[in-house]
A and B are shown apart, each in its own frame.
Chain A
Amino acid sequence: MHRFANPARFLRLAALVLPWVSVLSAILFTVGLYLALLASPEDYQQGDTVRIMYVHVPAAWMAMFTYSSMAVAAACALVWRHPLAEVYSKAAAPLGAGFTLLCLVTGSLWGEPMWGTWWVWDARLTSVLILFFLYLGYMALVDAFDDPQRGHRAGAILLLVGAINVPIIKFSVDWWNTLHQPASVLRLDGPAIHGDMLWPLLILALAFKTYFAATVILRMRAELAERKIQTLRLTQAGGV
């Protein structure tokens, strides 16, 4: 793990990976959106509104994945002082917040025709809303200190505290009898949806993941560059 702690090595690797994931993401989005919005069949009950799901579900997965990965990175940053881990958390946070917002908005748009309401205080919806606020709180906390190091440490601890919410979101549909339907793809006895709908969903999930990878690499590069500029300015100011 510490092989990649060296920012220079990370930057070399990032430069190698970035074009591939960017192109892959563009292709997957084109194919996935075509399949999901045009080629896949209508649902016999939901009609065309089912197509919202092809965006909603990958966004929800990414919202959870991003937070979990940030929490793991926070643990690495606190335990091993891994220098890139905190850069990752900071870079991923706005993306995670964006995915969460997309998940909430698309869910709401789907809920209006299907459930007859934009919003219900159901366990799944509420816990995802909390997740959104956790992202916002983390972003505000990291930026709130004059010493960026202090902000990163505080943010890492907050991420670990908030990680309690992740299993609650995942299992909220099983623990509470709620309006939101239980999982239909990631189940022990195989997915409960038809292949014609499963494939576009999986392709779009991969598209979201590669988009996230490309953007997070870009943001991490920007953060590292910003640090470098800061250091250069400081040494310059010291030299005068």
Chain B
Amino acid sequence: MSGFLRLLRRDLRLALRQGADAAMAVLFFVLCVIMFPFGIGPEPGVLARIAPGVILVAALLASLLSLDRLFQADHEDGSLELLSLSALPMEAVAAAKILAHWLVTGVPLILAAPLLALFLNLPADGFLILLATLLLATPLLSLIGGIGAALTLGARRGGVLLPLLVLPLYIPALIFAAAAVDSVLTGQAARPHLLLLSGLLAAALPLSPWGAAAALRAALE
């Protein structure tokens, strides 16, 4: 466990010192959402209707943005190889890096979301549920994306390939997250959607580091 925490702390420190990744993801998130009022028109009713979906899709794209760097830097300078030789199992390495990715890009997205919800005129009852779904959905994005990042490690055109692999797998998470927010706004129960989303997260939590570790081992062979 201590190796896991040390790796997590190292990754967080690297992210904080460079600082660009987290800031860029949030900036992209904000800009991406701001494009919609220009494209669709500033009518408050329409914006409120599309707000949950737009925010979730933008969060998904923003978390995708820094994903291709998840293992790449460590792969290039050889530290991934050293990590694979350490006592820490590869699954724990993958889990630590995925957790670091969520803390660095996912959490700032959650924090930025209320501001964007204001921009898009989301009704007040939607705020809490939007934050709750983002809290469940963003770790899921990092977990699924972690597999994709490990699979495309060292690939030609890896940056383009990664979204191609990961976006179809994001769809279930997006469906349930958007349905949860919409159901609150239309006065229905959000619980089933939140439970399904939690179920996806519970399944991805053990399976994704496992798959990512298998892909990392293949990359290091």
A interface residue numbers (CB < 8 A to B) = 78, 126, 130, 133-134, 136-137, 140-141, 144-146, 149-150, 153-154, 157-158, 160-162, 168
Contacts and interface: CB of A to CB of B under 8 A. Distances in A.
Interface in B127-183: 147, 151-152, 154-158, 161, 164-165, 167-169, 171-172
A144 B161 contact: yes
Contacts of B152: 141, 144, 154
Nearest to A123: B175
A137 B168 contact: yes
B162 to A, nearest CB: 10
17 contacts: A130-B171, A134-B168, A141-B151, A144-B155, A144-B157, A144-B158, A144-B161, A149-B221, A150-B221, A153-B218, A154-B155, A157-B151, A157-B214, A157-B218, A158-B151, A162-B168, A168-B172
B54 interface: no
B48 to A, nearest CB: 21
Given A140-B161, A145-B156, A158-B151, A126 B171 contact: yes
B211 interface: yes
B219 interface: yes
Q: Describe B's contact surface by its main secondary structure.
A: helix
Given A144-B156, A145-B154, A150-B221, A133 B168 contact: yes
B67 interface: no
B42 to A, nearest CB: 27
Contact of B164 (A137, A146, A154): A137
A89 B154 CA distance: 21
Contacts of B167: 133
Contacts of A149: 221
B215 interface: yes
A141 B168 contact: no
A54 B172 CA distance: 30
